[in-house]
Structure 1
Amino acid sequence: MATLPKVGTLGEYIREQRRNARFSLRQLSEAAGVSNPYLSQIERGLRKPSAEILQQIAKALRISAETLYVQAGILDERDEHATGERELRSAIMAEPGLTERQKRVLLDVYEAFRRENAMGPAPEPAATPSTAGVDDAAGDHVPGETHAEAAQRS
């Protein structure tokens, strides 16, 4: 998981998430089952909500409760990563539309990417004579085409 952006307070973070979700304070308070004045006090940093209230707010905002726990200092960010990884694995294993083999392959690919990313960025592949100087991003390259053929097309 990516590192959480640091904001001044938990309240500021909740306010930012509420605005991103295009909720008014009243709409979020109703969706989360929290009084409007109490939610306002949380956003202004005057009240520290319990884990249960944070879970209700997270559910209403459709964000991870663990994210709010980290912002509130209830949970260490490393713990959130482990929780997120467990949730990912559980979701894959619970997916009824996948075979057991497909589930194992997905988890293997996930682990391979994690190991690769832990080692740092991979070196860029060297250009081959048939592709050197051809801008693939522009969509001009035709596989197997030489520079001369590409130049004639241009």
Structure 2
Amino acid sequence: MTSKRSPLDSLGGFIAEQRRSAELSLRQLAAKAGVSNPYLSQIERGLRKPSAEVLQQLAKALRVSAESLYVRAGILDEEDRPPTGVEEAVQADPLINERQKRVLLDVYTSFVNENAAGHRPSNDSKEK
């Protein structure tokens, strides 16, 4: 017998998995995201559908892309989702711990911000 999982079940399971991966208790994640413990518990169990704003807060607290939560919640289609491969790959990697993930993402973000500010990395060292 097969059962279809609703987007809310998938979303709640994903949030719970990310919370455990980040070694956060339900209470700690709720506090970081600015939501109540019971509300977060209901989201994780697929009983409540959080707003886009709550998803954004949870994404920030979990250090995952908000778009990944929007897709799982059925708010955004997978095809409409902008590519964020580096962040998702780092967050999904089970071989590195949360501190290492934060450091990798911080370094990556600093490079992206530097390049966006007009500083292009050179392919050779012309600054001798």
The TM-score range, normalised by the shorter chain, is: 0.5 to 0.7
Point out where structure 2 has 5 or more consecutive residues left out of the alignment: 1-6, 86-108, 124-128
Q: Name which of 90, 97, 102 aligns with 2:121.
A: 102
Larger radius of gyration: 1
Residue in 1 that maps onto 2:42: 41
Runs of 4+ in 1 over 4 A off after TM superposition: 90-93, 96-101
TM-score if structure 2 supplies the norm length?
Answer: 0.61
Q: Structure 2 CA distance, aligned partners of 1:18 and 1:101?
A: 36
One-letter code of the match for 2:121? Q
Give 1:13-92 correspondences, 5 Å limit: 13-80=14-81, 82=82, 84=84
Judged with a 3 Å threshold, the aligned counterparts in structure 2 of structure 1 residues 37 and 63 are, in CA distance, closer, same or farther, namely: same
Over aligned residue pairs, what C-alpha RMSD do you find?
Answer: 3.3
Separation of aligned partners in 1, 2:13 and 2:30: 16
Q: How many residues align?
A: 95
Give the Cα separation in 1 of the matches to 2:11 and 2:54: 13
- Using the aligned pairs only, state the percent identity: 61
- Provide the TM-score with structure 1 as the length reference: 0.52
Deviations 1:73-124 (A, max 9, x none): 11112222x2538xxxx97664169865538x8xxxxxxxxxxxxxxxxxxx
Give the direction of change, closer, same or farther, for the CA distance of 1:42–1:92 in structure 2 (3 Å limit).
same
